[in-house]
A and B are shown apart, each in its own frame.
With several copies, the nearest count.
Chain A
Amino acid sequence: MLMVDHPPRDACRTREQLDLALAALALEQLVTVVFIGEGVYHCLPPDRRPDSDVSAGFGSLELYDVDRFLIEEDSLLERDLGREKLRFDLEPISRHALRDLIREQDLLL
C-alpha cells in the first residue's frame, strides 16, 4: 500500500512517489494507492493546465491495474472537498476502515 500524503507542486517528490508505485507494479505486486491528508489535492483537476501537472501521472496508474485506488473521505471533508469533482475514479474509504485495511497489507510505503 502506497500512502500519498504530501501536497502537489513538489514536482520531484510527486514524481518519485509515482516511480515507486510503478516499480512495485512492474514487480507484479498488488498495489493499493491511498490519497490522504494534503495528498488528496493531487486528485483535483487543475483549473488551467500548469506547466507540469505531474499529479496527472497518478491517473496512468489506473491503466496499470492498481488493485485499489482509494481516497480517505475524512481528509476530503476536512478540506471542504466533495468527491464529485475528483479527476480519478477513486473509491472512498473512511479513516476507520483505512486503519483496518492497513493491517491486511504486506507492506506500507
Chain B
Amino acid sequence: MSVTHLIFATPRTPGFRQALAAVSTGDRLLFMGHGACAVTRTDALTAIGDLEDIHVGVYGPDLESRGLLGKIADEAVMVLDEDGLLAWMTANRLNRTWQ
C-alpha cells in the first residue's frame, strides 16, 4: 500500500533522512511548514530524485510566506492550495508525519 509522507522536517535533519528512507514506489511526499523549503534546494531534490515513481507536492502558502514560490528547483513538484493539501493528505489511508 502507498503511504503519504507529511514532511515538516527540513533537509539534512534526521527526520528528513528517516522520511526518505521510508519512501517506496507510489508514495506521496508532501512538504509543509518549515519542510516546504526542501523543494527549492537541489541537495534535497537530488536525494528525492534517486527514488522512483513518487509524487512530490508542497503546500503553496508555506512557500509563499518564505518568498520561495518562484524558486522551486524541479518542474515535477506540485504546488498545492488548501483543497490540494486535503486531497494529498487523504489520498492514501496510510500517512506519517516526519518532524
Binding site for B on A (CB under 8 A): 3, 5, 7-9, 36-38, 41, 44-48, 50, 53, 78-81, 85, 87, 95, 98-100, 102-108
Known pairs A41-B66, A46-B67, A107-B94; A78 contacts B43 (CB<8 A): yes
Binding site for A on B (CB under 8 A): 1-3, 10, 12, 14-15, 18, 21-24, 33-34, 37, 40-43, 61-71, 73, 93-96
Chain B residues lying within 8 Å of A99, measured Cβ to Cβ, are 21-24
Min distance, Cβ B74 to any Cβ of chain A, angstroms: 12
Interchain Cβ contacts under 8 Å between A and B, 6 examples: A7-B37, A7-B66, A46-B66, A85-B67, A103-B2, A103-B94
Chain A residues lying within 8 Å of B63, measured Cβ to Cβ, are 47
- Interface residues of chain A: helix, strand, loop or mixed (majority): loop
Known pairs A99-B22, A103-B3; A79 contacts B64 (CB<8 A): no
Whether B94 and A48, one on each chain, are in contact in the complex, defined by CB atoms closer than 8 angstroms, is no
